[in-house]
Amino acid sequence: MPAATRIPQVLRGAWSAFVATARQVALRRLAWTTAVIACLVAVALLVPVPSAVQLRDWAQALGPWFPVAFLVAHTVVTVFPFPRTAFTLAAGLLFGPWLGVLLAVVASALSAVGVLVVMRVFGWQLSRVVRHPRLDSLDARLHQRGWPAVVSLRLIPAIPFSVINYAAGASAVRLVPYTAATLVGLLPGTAAVVVLGDALTGEVSPLLFAVSACTAAVGAALLVYEVRSHRSHPSTAEAVVVPQQDQNCTCGGPC
């Protein structure tokens, strides 16, 4: 089938799934979800980004405890839709490449896991709200093989960090594969930005700018492969029944 014919069909399928999903969502839950999203966006817009001078002053005031304070601040703030790059650049400028990479990756991973756990605790999962064959198939696929999708999306710098966190929390992806895939996917791009941040005080290598393009290309290729694999073997994902979770479970899998 020609690509020009497939695109309208895909769009119609996506629109029908969206309409079916919207009809199943309770008005009260939809209102709460909208309110939560609005609050998150408001916090991200209203919280001022600390300048390099402010961070330097905080480092001098806190002394040896500043790396711990930076880790906590990075983790908490990036739970909201706040630009992670500001903290990543600051990590390189303040701590150098080695400690900067460690702090930035660990803080980002903790933030990503925290969002997933909070969404699971409060029951903010798509499977608990709506039922649709396409969504059920995708959710089963993510429960069975969620790590390739997470790795590929994390490798693409253009996709916001918080969007992936919230989408993963709403899906059936399991906690351990999600955490491992987050660490793997964040490491290359984060290391490049941290080194770039450290390099702002000295020489800047053109290779640092090429890393983002390379990781994006790898991530896009992995994502295309995963989508094609899912389309080629849809019955495998559909055959997997996502187990019902205990109300107190936060792992995203059977307890």
Nearest to 55 by CA among 88, 90, 30, 31: 90
Query: Does residue 61 have a pLDDT over 70?
Result: yes
Task: Check residue 249 and give left, alpha or beta (phi > 0: left; psi -120 to 50: alpha).
Answer: beta
Query: Does residue 54 have a pLDDT over 80?
Result: no
Q: Please report which confidence band the pLDDT of residue 255 belongs to, taking 50, 70 and 90 as the band edges.
A: very low
Give the tokens for residue 76.
Answer: 């908490």
**Single pTM value for the model:** 0.68
- C-alpha span between 140 and 144 (Å, rounded): 6
pLDDT (tens digit, 9 = 90+) per residue, 126-141? Answer: 655 555 556 566 666 7
The pLDDT of 192-204, averaged and rounded, is 67
> pLDDT at position 168, please?
85
> pLDDT at position 20, please?
56
- C-alpha span between 33 and 25 (Å, rounded): 10
Q: What is the rounded average pLDDT for all residues in the chain? A: 73
Query: Does residue 40 have a pLDDT over 70?
Result: no
| Cα 180 to Cα 59, 89, 151, 184, 213, distances in angstroms | 31, 23, 9, 6, 23
DSSP H helical segments within the chain, as ranges? 3-24, 27-46, 52-62, 66-77, 84-121, 133-155, 161-170, 175-199, 206-232, 234-239
